[in-house]
Each structure stands twice: as C-alpha cells, then as structure tokens.
Amino acid sequence: MRLIHHINVLLVITLFISCATPVAPTGGPADKTGPKIENTTPETGAVNFEGRKFSFEFSEFVNRSSFQTELNIEPDLGIEYEVNWRRKTAAVEFKNELPDSTTIIITVGGNTT
C-alpha cells in the first residue's frame, strides 16, 4: 500500500516537472508583402458612375492613417469626404454630389501598410 502511495506521489511530481515551459510564440515569418486591393466599388475603369461612395476591399487589415496618407483623388474637386472602415474595407464617401462630365481618378499608393 505504501509503495503504491509513493509511486503515485512520484508520478504527480514527474507530471508537474514535465509540463510545458511557457514561452512566448515566435510570431512566424516576417510579412514582406503589403495589403493588396481585392475588390473596388465601382469596379476599376467604371464610367458614367452616379454616386458619392467608393470602396476598397483589402486582402488584409490596413493601417488607417497609412491609407489616408496614400489616398489620392484627382482632380482636386474641393469637395469634403470622409473615410469609414468596416473590417478590411475602406469606404470613401463624398459629402456632396460629384460634378457631371468629370473624370475622377482615385488611387491608393503602394506604401499602404
């Protein structure tokens, strides 16, 4: 009986000693590619678009201030806009209607992180 008790105690001590040592995760390989635009609304190259909202869906989460810095709207229309986020999608919405018969080019620079 005593032998069984000693074996049980030894087994419990061995279990505690052999438990995994807590170590911080390595984090995996470095991410060397930035986010890519997977979808836009309206589609790239769209013509005769009637609306005030443009959206960009990215392949991964994007730094919001980086997006604001890299966002370029040509020509400068002098119309205020705001950027709203929903998960990995940025929506650029102009506060007023866009002028008719005007080509507007919206680009997002390659340094978006």
85 is a domain residue: yes
3-state secondary structure of 65: helix
45 is a domain residue: yes
92 is a domain residue: yes
Q: What is the pLDDT of residue 46?
A: 82
42 is a domain residue: yes
83 is a domain residue: yes
Could you list the residue range(s) of the whole structural domain that residue 95 is in? 37-108
Separation CA 109–CA 71 (nearest Å): 6
Please give the single-letter amino acid code of residue 100: D
Q: What is the pLDDT of residue 47?
A: 83
23 is a domain residue: no
16 is a domain residue: no
Q: What is the pLDDT of residue 91?
A: 93
Q: What is the pLDDT of residue 30?
A: 82
Per-residue pLDDT of the chain (113 residues; tens, 9 = 90+): 677 777 877 777 776 776 667 778 787 888 778 889 999 888 888 888 888 899 999 999 988 888 889 888 888 888 899 999 999 999 999 998 888 888 888 888 877 77
Q: What single string gives the DSSP state of each residue in 6-27?
A: HHHHHHHHHHHHHSPPP-----
Other Cβ atoms closer than 10 A to 108: 19
Structural domain count of the chain: 1
78 is a domain residue: yes
Q: What are the residues facing 92 on neighbouring strands? A: 54, 83
Q: What is the pLDDT of residue 19?
A: 65
